[in-house]
């Protein structure tokens, strides 16, 4: 049994806490809201996310970061990308230097173009103690014990293996990888492609269109990954194709669902206020496109999503810009 601190009480933080506790670990959740922490301790339910899921008895919650991190043998970060640096900074003086850190957050920081492992490493010191977990893992299904799988990536094989042992069970398969960059690129950029798929669904397009967006989207992901030094095969794995399929096709996907809602006139702020969920793809549409431009990588689908979200482009014009492109070799 390990003492694990989980930072963040969103859907994924809640599901991950339950998963870890079901593996006989003692889990302490850090919550921003006193009301959420109190409700979890009183009823073992999160009043804002996965409200019907009863957390195992091995989970407790607190708003006191020092208390949550005290004696922790592992830390799992599950906060939105725009809060990650600040949260990691607040942890730095409270965290022992030998405690491994796993990041569930997917994204690319605007302007710096830092991936989440870079952000955390800069704040807590040492990238080799850091790992990321990524894959086709809808929290709604993980907490029900439905068969799922993920990959843990770290520059340090021992750290990846540590978190593999911590999470794996008969319904949650965990694989390991040393391609930290490739896994992070896949996890961040697929959310942008999922918004494009949601827009297509909202407009009434069919399966052929979704398949085109996913496969051409995967090509964009692969080009960025290669330019960043990632391994091409990673895009074919759980963090790449696996997560892309789940995120682009499932009604559980907040990014796909936002794309559908956007067609009906709902913007990011309204969607997040209504659902209490963060649309990471909307943030990544900015930062990932910035990164692509800095690497001189062409990403037309991402550019189209950015255009409709931030440049005021009509959806019809964005579609026309994609379809008006001159066909070329499939892979370039």
For residue 56, what is the DSSP state? P
Helix (H), strand (E) at residue 7: strand 3-7
**Is 73 in contact with 46 (CB distance < 8 Å)?**
no
The CA angle 17-20-26, to the nearest 5 degrees, is: 85
Quick check: helix, strand or coil at residue 234? helix
For 236, list phi and psi in degrees, rounded to 5. -90, -5
Residues 105 and 79: beta-carbon distance below 8 Å: yes
Burial class (CB in 10 A: 0-12, 13-18, 19+), 48: middle
What is residue 252's DSSP assignment? T
298: left (phi over 0), alpha (psi -120 to 50) or beta: beta
CA distance 9 to 40: 10
- The set of residues, in sequence order, having a beta carbon less than 8 Å from that of 291 and lying 6+ positions away, is 108, 113, 224, 228
Q: Looking at the annotation, which residues are catalytic?
A: 190
**CA distance linking residue 27 with residue 241, whole number of Å:** 31
């Amino acid at each position: 049994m390990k003492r694990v601190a989980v930072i963040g009480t969103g859907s994924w933080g809640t599901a991950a806490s339950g998963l870890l506790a079901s593996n006989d670990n003692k889990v302490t959740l850090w919550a921003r809201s006193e009301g959420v922490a109190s409700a979890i301790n009183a009823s073992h339910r999160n009043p804002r996310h996965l409200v019907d899921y009863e957390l195992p008895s091995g989970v407790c919650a607190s708003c006191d970061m020092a208390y949550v991190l005290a004696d922790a043998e592992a830390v799992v970060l599950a906060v939105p990308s725009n809060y990650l640096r600040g949260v990691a900074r607040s942890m730095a003086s409270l965290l022992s230097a030998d405690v491994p850190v796993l990041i569930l957050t997917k994204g690319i920081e605007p302007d710096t173009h830092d991936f989440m492992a870079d952000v955390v490493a800069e704040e807590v010191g040492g990238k080799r103690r850091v790992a990321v977990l990524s894959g086709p893992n809808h929290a709604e299904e993980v907490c029900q014990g439905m068969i799922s799988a993920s990959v843990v990536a770290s520059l340090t094989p021992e750290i990846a293996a540590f978190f593999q042992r911590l999470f794996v069970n008969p319904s949650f398969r965990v694989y390991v990888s040393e391609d930290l960059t490739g896994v992070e690129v896949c996890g961040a950029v697929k959310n942008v492609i999922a918004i494009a798929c949601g827009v297509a669904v909202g407009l009434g397009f069919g399966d052929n269109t979704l398949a085109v967006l996913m496969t051409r989207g995967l090509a964009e992901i692969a080009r960025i990954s290669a330019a960043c030094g990632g391994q091409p095969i990673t895009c074919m794995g759980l963090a790449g194709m696996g997560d892309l399929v789940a995120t682009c096709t499932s009604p559980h996907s907040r990014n796909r669902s936002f794309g559908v809602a956007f067609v009906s006139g709902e913007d990011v702020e309204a969607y997040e206020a209504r659902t209490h969920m963060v649309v990471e793809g909307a943030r990544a549409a900015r930062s990932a496109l910035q990164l692509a431009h800095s690497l001189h990588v062409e990403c037309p689908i991402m550019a189209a999503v950015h255009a409709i979200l931030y440049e005021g482009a009509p959806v019809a014009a964005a579609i026309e810009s994609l379809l008006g492109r001159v066909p070329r070799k499939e892979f370039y």
